[in-house]
Amino acid sequence: MVWALVAIAVLAALLGGLAMREKSRTGVSMRQALALALPALSHRLDARAVRAAGAAEGPVIYAISEQARLDAALFLAALPDDTLHILDPASAGHWAVEACRPLAKSVIFDKERMIANRRLVRHLKGKGRLAVYFPDAVEPDADAFRLYRAVALLARKTGAKIVPLTVRNARFLRSSLTPAEKAPRQWFPRLTMHTLAPATIGEIVAMRGRDMTTPANALFDRMAELRFTSTDPAQTLFGALVLAARTYGPSRVIVEDAVTGALAYKRVLIGARVLAKRFAAMSAPGEAMGVLLPNANGAVVTFFALQSAGRVAAMLNYTAGPANVVSAINTAKIRTVLSSRAFIEKADLQPLVVAIEENGTKIIWLEEMRETVTLPEKLSAAALWSRPIAETRAGEPAVVLFTSGTEGSPKGVVLSHRNLVVNAAQSEARVSISVEDSLFNVLPLFHSFGLTGGMVLPLLYGVRLFLYPSPLHYKLIPQVAARVQPTIMFGTDTFLAGYARTAKDTDFASLRFVVAGAEAVKHETEEVYRSRFDCHILEGYGMTEASPVVAVNSATHSRLGTVGRALPGIAIRLEPVEGIEGGFRMWVQGPNVMLGYLKADRPGELQPLEDGWYDTGDIVHIDHEGFIEVRGRAKRFAKIGGEMVSLGAVEILVQSLWPADRHAALSVADRRKGEKIVLATTTRDADRQRIAEKTQAEGMTKLMVPSDIVPMDDIPVLGSGKTDYVTTQERVMALLRRISRVGSGRNRKSNDDAPDAAKDAAKTAKRPNRRARKKSA
pLDDT tens readout for residues 369-378: 988 999 998 9
CA gap 614, 594 in Å, rounded: 9
DSSP-derived secondary structure for 93-146: TSHHHHHHGGGSEEEES-GGGGGG-HHHHHHHHTT-EEEEEEE--SS--HHHHH
**Angle of helix 237-248 versus helix 417-428 axis, rounded to 10:** 40
DSSP-derived secondary structure for 58-88: SSEEEEEEE-BTHHHHHHHHHS-TTEEEEE-
pLDDT tens readout for residues 33-80: 888 888 888 888 888 888 888 888 879 999 999 999 899 999 998 899
Give the pLDDT of residue 659.
Answer: 80
* Distance separating the N- and C-terminal Cα atoms of the chain: 80
Architecture of the domain delimited by 237-631: 3-Layer(aba) Sandwich (3.40)
DSSP label of 171: G
Give the pLDDT of residue 671.
Answer: 61
CA gap 348, 346 in Å, rounded: 5
CA gap 75, 84 in Å, rounded: 11
Phi, psi of 499 (to 5 degrees): -65, -40
CA gap 319, 331 in Å, rounded: 18
How many CB atoms are located within 10 Å of the residue 324 CB? 17
DSSP label of 547: S
What is this structure's pTM? Answer: 0.83
CA gap 313, 398 in Å, rounded: 6
Give the pLDDT of residue 771.
Answer: 35
Q: Determine the topology of domain 641-776 in CATH.
A: GMP Synthetase; Chain A, domain 3 (3.30.300)
Give the pLDDT of residue 519.
Answer: 79
Give the pLDDT of residue 698.
Answer: 67
Residues with Cβ within 8 Å of 426's Cβ and at least 6 positions away in sequence, in order, are 228, 549, 567, 568, 569, 570, 590, 592
Low-confidence ranges of the chain (pLDDT < 50): 405-408, 642, 747-777
Q: One fold for both 237-631 and 641-776?
A: no
Give the pLDDT of residue 64.
Answer: 94
Domain ranges of the chain: 1-27, 56-229, 237-631, 641-776
CA gap 466, 442 in Å, rounded: 9
Which amino acid, 364? Answer: I
